[in-house]
Amino acid sequence: MSTEYLVGVVVRVHGLRGELVVDVHTDSPDERFAPGGSLIAQRPGAPVGTLTVESARPHSGRLLVRFVEAPDRDAAEALRGTRLLVPTDAIAPPEDDKEFHVHQLEGLRAELEDGSVVGTVREVVHGPGGDLLVLARADRSDALVPFVTAIVPTVDLAGGRVVLTPPEGLLD
């Protein structure tokens, strides 16, 4: 069974020819938005569909993307808010064993060095200061943990866990 991985979100239409401004949520935009590539499209209030990339180019920290299925501004306008996804089984694992894809981290058990469980990785947030693990905790609010080696020294994908060495007060 394959799950899906978010690679972008359509923000708005750009210009008259149907280009769309896309917030990128992938480290491989050239690969994910390559001409001819297909993306799963999830739009609020619409059935899940597929979009085929016609072209993509960088623009002010985002991408301007044209899809075959949206040949003009009116068709493109209907795609506003669309989440663009790829199946996780279509994503090759990173070559470096110290790198991870977001979908590999989500769902891992978060525990301290002594083995006590503190939560589960609910999601990874890409912030301006770096990545944060969002830990879902039973009967407590979520905790944000900087995804840095000093605080998360061990990622054990085979064991289904991350080991944390948080500074005092981080999980309070």
Domains of the chain: 4-90 (2.40.30.60), 102-164 (2.30.30.240)
166 token code pair: 């948080």
Residues of the chain falling short of pLDDT 50: 1
Q: What pLDDT, on the 0 to 100 scale, is given for residue 1? A: 39
pTM, two decimal places: 0.66
The dihedral sign for the CA sequence 83, 152, 159, 109: negative
Compute the distance between CA of residue 9 and CA of residue 60 in angstroms, rounded to an integer: 15
Region label for 164, one of left (φ > 0), alpha (ψ between -120 and 50) or beta (otherwise): beta
